[in-house]
Amino acid sequence: MNPDLPKVSWLDAPFRADEELAPMDARVSQHVLHNVPARVAVVARDNTYLFSNREMLDFLGKQADEVVGRHVAEVLGHERFAVYEQLAERVWAGEVLHWEGWVDYAGLGRRYVQETVVPCVTPDRTVNAAAAFSRDLTDLKLREQDLATREAQLAASEALKSAIVDHALAALISTDAAGLIVEFNPAAETMFGHARSAVLGRSVSETIIPQRLRPMHEAGMKRLAEGGQPRILGKRVQMKASRADGSEFPVEMVLWRTDVAGSVFYTASMFDQTERLQAQEQIERQRDALRQSEKLSAMGSLLAGVAHELNNPLSIVIGRATFLEERCSDAGMRLDAKRIREAAQRCGRIVRTFLNMARSRPFERRPVVLNDVVMAAVEMLNYSFSSHGITVDLALDPALQPVLADPDQIAQIVLNLLVNAQQALVQENGLRQVLVATGIDPERDDVEAQAWLRIADSGPGVPAELAGRIFEPFFTTKPEGLGTGIGLAVSRSLARAHGGELVLEPPGTDRGASFRVSLPTGGWSEAAPAPGVLPGTVAAGSLRILVVDDELEVAALARDVLEGAGHEVATAESGEVALAMLAAASFDAVVSDLHMPDMSGMALWRRIEQAHPSLARRFLFITGDTLSPDASRFLKTSGCPGLDKPFANQDLLAAVAALVR
């Protein structure tokens, strides 16, 4: 040590030294400090090094003259010195400081140190230097961290494996080489109905293998134990398993072998296939229903086309029969004309029903007389009923209030129920009878008045065990080819969409099935006209009207009807002829067919809108299918009224009168 330095004692606490160190003692102390396995340095109050042992010099990579006499900031860096400087006042006040942790040394890296700073006290109890003792524990700390990391990773791995097994969706069952269960996860408990604690140590064969299959399983285990070739290891196998209650169910299994410390274990991963197989059966039923639906859709399109073509001749029959009925003086001939007209009108209603079923119409509510819907449906199916020897008894309440509903959807419900009744009676040899009744349940408490419809048949009825399933989609009790299983489901859905309900009534003393539809009667105003209906009576006065229709008989009928009401009428067989006539003469209104060859009624209207804007607002379209997507869109955007074929003479007159009102 430097002989000029003050003689000091290095202690854990400030201390008064009564004796000075002898020179020999100083040499011994210096020798000891140079060789201790720790870094030792002495710093003066001006923060310059007074002493640095070999461990310190080796750590710094410097010679003694590069450290002793130099400032701490110069040796350790300004950042490290800033830390020491914050603690200096406490040391110079005589406090011994201890700390441990990670330290960043400029140019030397990050080290983990355990350090003690001791003030050096002179005999007069002043502190003019401090000794720093530092142990480098970096390697030890890194080893501890590495060990802790490995232990944490091992614990995490075990926890992860346990979590995977415990929370796996698959049932995991492990056995030893003898087939005794050593692991049975929660999914296996749920699937098989056994508690884990109850099956550990039990034979897997007795636990989950159906009794009839156990000999085969045990033979396979024996073959493996004798070194035989495995047949199902690693393969996906479909098999039957047994629950705790003895019931069998299908599973898919993958089996694998694990060798642990010379012991053999087998683990099976199993999935319950019950729902999957049921879903496959459901999909197959839906495919069959879809194929049936496609057939029905094709048939509906065909019927719609046929119905459209029938509307023109039906219009002529109804119109001409009306003329005959009005003009005949003979009562017998007048009655015949009336029968012709009513028969044609009945055909028209049947045609309209076909079109409603074939076209996808938006949901449209209006006041609907349930009795009228029932009568239309019965008329439509009348031939089918009579050809099968089925009688229909009607008990319709004449005072039944209208319901606010989509008439086509209500008609679909009624038709579905009537067709179901017919199909139920086809195989019957005895009485074949359908009762159709309507009525009303009066308002009570907070339930509004409900109109109801009952359709009951004398057929075999619905078995009690199937009564809860008949409204499920694609479920049917009918023989193959007689139903898709969607009629009742759709009908109930439509009834509920209207705020009503469709139920199978409890069986009574009579055989057969009885279905009851209920619909609320409130929520509409009698003063509001139904959409699509042109209200009012024929306006007085004569109009110049242009009738455009490629069907000459329809055009002639319209001319006769309108001329009979005092109007002046001209006819055109095409859109081009109509435009030529409009260029030569003026008209008060135009009555045109919507679908015509060469130039459609829609194209004609657009041409007239450009050339005669005021006349375009007095345009009436007659068509056999206003429900077609093109016609519906056009009538909505143009604002022009439409009149469906076949039409009654009075309907045409009222529609024309509304044009100029």
- Picking from 112, 103, 56, 67, the residue whose alpha carbon sits closest to that of residue 82 is 103
Q: 165 vs 575, which has greater pLDDT?
A: 575
The tally of domains found in the chain comes to 4
What pLDDT does residue 604 have? 92
**Could you tell me the CA-to-CA distances from 595 to 1, 90, 602, 604, 636 in Å, in that order?**
121, 106, 8, 11, 16
Closest alpha carbon to 513 in 435, 451, 438, 453: 435
Least confident of 99-103, 359-363, 369-373, 495-499: 359-363
pLDDT of residue 270: 92
Q: Which of 237, 253, 272 is the last residue of a domain?
A: 272
Candidates 427, 424, 429; CA nearest to 488 is 424
Ramachandran quadrant class, 624 (left: phi over 0; alpha: psi -120 to 50; beta: rest): alpha
> pLDDT class for 526, splitting at 50, 70, 90?
very low
Span of 160-169, 257-266, 478-487 with lowest mean pLDDT = 478-487
Q: Please indicate, yes or no, whether residues 265 and 393 belong to a single structural domain of this protein.
A: no
490 and 568 within one domain: no
Domain CATH for 221: 3.30.450.20
Range of the domain at 650: 544-659
68 and 14 assigned to the same domain: yes
DSSP three-state, residue 510 = coil
- The mean per-residue pLDDT over the stretch 528-554 comes to 64
Q: Which of 248, 272, 296 is the last residue of a domain?
A: 272
Distance (Å, whole) CA 423 – CA 459: 9
For 548-597, the pLDDT digits (tens) are 998 888 899 999 999 988 999 999 999 999 999 998 899 999 999 988 88
Residue that is last in its domain, among 251, 272, 293: 272
Residues pairing with 520 in the sheet: 450
What is the rounded average pLDDT of the residues 138-143? Answer: 87
- 521 and 381 part of one domain: yes
345 belongs to a structural domain: no
pLDDT value of position 389: 87
423 and 515 co-located in one domain: yes
CATH of the domain at 429: 3.30.565.10
Higher pLDDT, residue 181 or 461: 181
What phi and psi values does residue 100 have, to the nearest 5 degrees?
A: -150, 135
Judgement on whether residues 377 and 526 belong to the same structural domain of the protein:
yes
With tokens 């309907």, the residue in question is 651
pLDDT for 299: 60
| Same domain assignment for residues 64 and 188 | no
Q: Are residues 371 and 409 in the same domain?
A: yes
* Structure token pair of residue 292: 């049936």
- 537 located within any domain: no
Q: At residue 343, does pLDDT exceed 90?
A: no
User: CA 105, CA 110: separation in Å to the nearest integer?
Assistant: 6
Question: Residue 118: which region, alpha, beta or left (left: phi > 0; alpha: psi -120 to 50)?
Answer: beta
Asked if the structure places residue 306 within a domain, the reply is no
Residue 569 in any domain: the answer is: yes
Query: Rounded mean pLDDT of 195-217?
Result: 91
- For residues 530-540, average pLDDT: 39
Instruction: Examine the pLDDT at 547 and tell me if it is beyond 90.
Output: yes
Distance (Å, rounded) from C-alpha 67 to C-alpha 303? 109
Q: How confident is the model at residue 473 (pLDDT cuts 50, 70, 90)?
A: low
| Same-domain status, 458 and 509 | yes
CA distance 426 to 485: 18
**Overall average pLDDT of the 155-172 stretch:** 75
Mean residue pLDDT of the chain comes to 81
For 172: left if phi > 0, alpha if psi spans -120 to 50, otherwise beta; the answer is: beta
pLDDT digits (tens, 9 = 90+) for 105-114: 877 788 898 9
Q: Where are the alpha helices (DSSP H) in 388-517?
A: 407-426, 487-497
Q: Which residue has the higher pLDDT, 446 or 470?
A: 470
Q: Does residue 248 carry a pLDDT above 80?
A: yes
| 410 shares its domain with 519 | yes
What is the tens place of the pLDDT at every residue in 359-384? 555 566 788 889 988 888 888 788 78
In a domain, 148, yes or no: no
Q: How high is the pLDDT of residue 311?
A: 79
Q: Residue 415: what pLDDT? A: 86
In this predicted structure, what is the pLDDT of residue 539?
A: 43
- Residue 48, pLDDT above cutoff 90: yes
The answer to whether position 631 is within a domain reads yes
Compute the half-sphere exposure of residue 619: CA atoms within 13 Å on the CB side of its CA.
26
The answer to whether residue 246 is domain-embedded is: yes
CATH code of the domain containing 636: 3.40.50.2300
Q: Are residues 122 and 187 in the same domain?
A: no
Structural domain contains residue 337:
no
pLDDT at 605 over 90: yes
196 and 68 within one domain? no
* Length in residues, the chain: 661
